[in-house]
Every structure is written in structure tokens, then in C-alpha cells.
Amino acid sequence: MTVIEKYLYKILTICTIVFLTRSYFILIICDGYMTFARTTLTEELETEGVSTKNKPPSIRELFQKREQGFLSEFACPSSKSAGRLRQEDPCSIRTPFQLDRDRIVYSNAFRRLKHKTQVFLSPMGDHYRTRLTHTLEVSEIARNIARAMSLNEDLTEAIALGHDLGHTPFGHGGETALKEIFSPDFSHQEQSLRVVDTLDNKGLGLNLTHEVRDGILKHSKGFGDIMPTTPGEAASTVEGKIVRIADIIAYLNHDLDDALRSRVITRNEVPAVCVDKLGTSHSKRAKTMIEELVYNSGPEDGNFKLSMGGEIFSAMTVLRQFLYDQVYRSPSVHKEFIKAKKVLIELYHYFMDNTEKLQQELAKMEMAHWDPQETSLERSVCDLIASMTDRYALNLYAKLFFPRSHF
């Protein structure tokens, strides 16, 4: 070996020794911390009368203990959950709300959101929001708000990821179709609850916690108040209420963004008060609305009140009405939803007349099969239609109703 090679070899040897030594001490410190945390929790559990003689605290229990230190008194700690529809053994690693989040993400219903319309039919372009990207944006906004307010981020995320699982294909056009042919009371939020309770997982449902189910059910009320005040209309947790507002913040921003991209509207048509008070870009508008909510909310008369400043709230209300009038009901958007509605109505009638095909399609989508002893035919057909993606509905319609050549 040359002098340089020997020198480099010595340097490499010294670096390796230093690295291994540091790694060893880090492992000792981490092990010491975990031992201390487990010992402390064990002592507190035994003080409360819980025996831990043969079973040390789990990772989940350690985390739930930590929650007590960083969550606000108005947050919903996972250890205080009201439980599930069907009792089950707790996970040793994940809290109940973390487990709910994972069950939602791994569900078929969640994956189908990628091919469901938000406002503009997805074939129009790759950059338009779908129901899945909308859901992810709601989750990001809701989590940021919850974290800033020292609320339960896991609970907030689970509700946000599950809030639109029952949304129909073709956006609110599909929801309107099912209101006409199935029931005037049909709503995507109730359908979302039905998905997680009885439809997904081959009819077993996801067996989510009460708090997540409540947040999913009460995340929307159509064109209802941004800040609901009617008793029973708002979610029972502050985290659930945040998701409702995050949902509105998300769609006000990205629906305006997509409407400008599609040239359904121009920038000059956006109300001046919205530009002046909320901002000129997606990020500025989101930042303004999130900060306005965070800095104006807080304890009031023993409860945590979510609030926004008058000027920003007023600008949001104006923007919301503008989108309803100039985008959602615009001729270019509406005419496509009329076509889509026709597709769903004809599929609905087809499956009402062909129950064997209904059972086959339910099996393909790994949903609960139709049992006439438990569910009406109309309800089961509605479940199938509501669960379809835009692409699935269009392809199935073409297969069933388009003539095909035999040559």
C-alpha cells in the first residue's frame, strides 16, 4: 500500500469506529428512554388499579399516555373513544383512530375515489381534481388546523380521509340522479357512513370508532351553513367540526382553480372582494382561510368555538355563491352532468330488472351481496350505482347498451 492509501485506510477505520460508537450510545439512550416510559406508565396503571404484572405497557398505551401531555383539554384523546359497533381487541401499536385511518386508506372504496369526479369530468385533463385528490387536500388542511389547535390529528385525518367514501360517480350530478330515482333523502354523507358500516370489506364494513363515524356523517349539509349552529347538525367532536370547514376551504380553492384552468370563468369574473380579502393564488387563499380560523377560534363558555373574522368569512360566502352560480350550474358543466345522469338512471333501471346481474356486479366490486331479507332491491341497486367510478359506469353502460358487431 502507498502512503496515501495507508492514510486513507486509517481515516476510514477511525470514522467507522466513531460511527459504531455513536450508534451504540444512541441505542442505549433509546432503550433507556423506552424502559423509563414503560416503567412510569406501569406504575401509573397499577396506581389506577390496572394490573400489569405479566404484561408490560404496549406501544399504543405509551402513545396514549403521551397524548395526555400534548392534546388540548378540548381534544378527543384516543383513550376516551366511545368504541366501535362491534367490540374487538385493541391493536398493540396503533391507537383506535390510527387504526381507523389505516382501514380507510386500505379500503376498496378509498381506492375508487381516484376515478370519481370532483366537479369536472376527469377525462378533461390530468391536472383536474378528482374525488381522491380533493380528499387528500381536505386531509392536509384539516390536519394542519388540528395540529395548530393541539387537537387530535389522527382523529381529524381519519374523518377527512373517509368523509367522501360514499360519493357517487360524476360528482353531485350523480347524487342528484339518485335523489330522483332512489330517494329524495339520498345524501353522499349518509352513503359514506353506509360504506364504512355495511358495504365495504365484502359486507363486513370497517367497524370504525364512533367519533370517526360521527364526523363522516356530519361533514356536510349541502349548501348549509359553513359554521353550523343547529343542534345535532355539527359533529360531536371539535375534530369533526374542523373537517367540515376544511372540506369547504378545500373545494372553494381547488374548484376555483379548476374553473379558471378550464376557462369556464376568467380571473376578471371572480368577485373583487374574494381577490382582495382571500388572495390571488391557491396557496394564498388557503393560508388566509386557515390562519383566520386558527387565530379566531378558542375557548368560550367552557366549549371550544370555531370562528372566523367577519371580512374573511364574508368573502368565503361570496366565493361559495359565485362558484354555485357560475361554475357548478354553468351550461358547459351542467350539460355533461345531464349526460352522466342519464347513464346512471338507465343503469339503475337495468339492475332493478336484472337481479342476477346485480349480484354479479356486487361480487366484482367486493361489496355486500343483495339479501332480500335484509335489504330492499332499490337500496342495493343504489349502493351499487353510488359505489361505481365514472370510468366503471361508462364502460358498463357501453357494454350493456351499445350495439356490437359480430364480424
Q: Are residues 214 and 247 in the same domain?
A: yes
Q: Are residues 29 and 160 in the same domain?
A: no
Distance CA 297, CA 302 (A): 13
Q: For CA atoms 209, 212, 213, 214, give the dihedral sign.
A: positive
Q: Between the CA of residue 129 and those of 195, 199, 251, 335, what are the distances in Å? A: 22, 26, 10, 19
Q: Are residues 162 and 136 in the same domain?
A: yes
Reported as a pLDDT band with limits 50, 70 and 90, residue 52 is low
Any idea what the CATH number is for the domain that residue 290 is in?
1.10.3210.10
Distance CA 75, CA 169 (A): 35
Cα 7–Cα 9–Cα 12 angle in degrees, nearest 5: 110
Q: Are residues 18 and 150 in the same domain?
A: no
Q: Are residues 225 and 330 in the same domain?
A: yes
Q: Are residues 168 and 234 in the same domain?
A: yes
Q: For CA atoms 80, 86, 88, 94, give the dihedral sign.
A: negative
Residue 75 inside a domain? The answer is no
Reported as a pLDDT band with limits 50, 70 and 90, residue 81 is very high
Report how many domains make up the chain.
3
In sequence order, which ranges of 324-403 are alpha helices (DSSP H)?
331-353, 355-364, 377-387, 390-401
Examine the pLDDT at 38 and tell me if it is beyond 60.
no
Looking up cell 335484509 gives: 374
Examine the pLDDT at 384 and tell me if it is beyond 70.
yes
Please state which of the ranges 55-64, 220-229, 247-256 shows the lowest mean pLDDT: 220-229
pLDDT in tens, 139-156: 999 999 999 999 999 999
Reported as a pLDDT band with limits 50, 70 and 90, residue 126 is confident
Q: Are residues 159 and 288 in the same domain?
A: yes
Q: Which structural domain range is residue 383 located in? A: 345-401
Output helix, strand, coil percentages for the chain, rounded to the nearest 5: 65, 0, 30
- Whole-model pTM: value is 0.86
The predicted pLDDT at position 124 comes to 63
Cα 347–Cα 348–Cα 352 angle in degrees, nearest 5: 115
Residue 218 inside a domain? The answer is yes
Query: Please, how many CA atoms are within 13 Å of residue 344, restricted to the half-sphere of its CB?
Result: 32
Q: Are residues 118 and 250 in the same domain?
A: yes
Examine the pLDDT at 402 and tell me if it is beyond 70.
yes
pLDDT in tens, 333-350: 888 889 999 999 999 999
pLDDT in tens, 282-308: 999 999 999 999 999 999 999 999 999
Q: Which residue has the higher pLDDT, 212 or 230?
A: 212
Give residue 41's identity as a one-letter amino acid code: L
The predicted pLDDT at position 233 comes to 82
Q: Are 125 and 48 in contact (CB under 8 A)?
A: no
Q: Are residues 178 and 53 in the same domain?
A: no
Q: Are residues 182 and 280 in the same domain?
A: yes
Helix axes of 153-162 and 131-148: crossing angle, nearest 10 degrees: 160
Q: Are residues 23 and 109 in the same domain?
A: no
Residue 172 inside a domain? The answer is yes
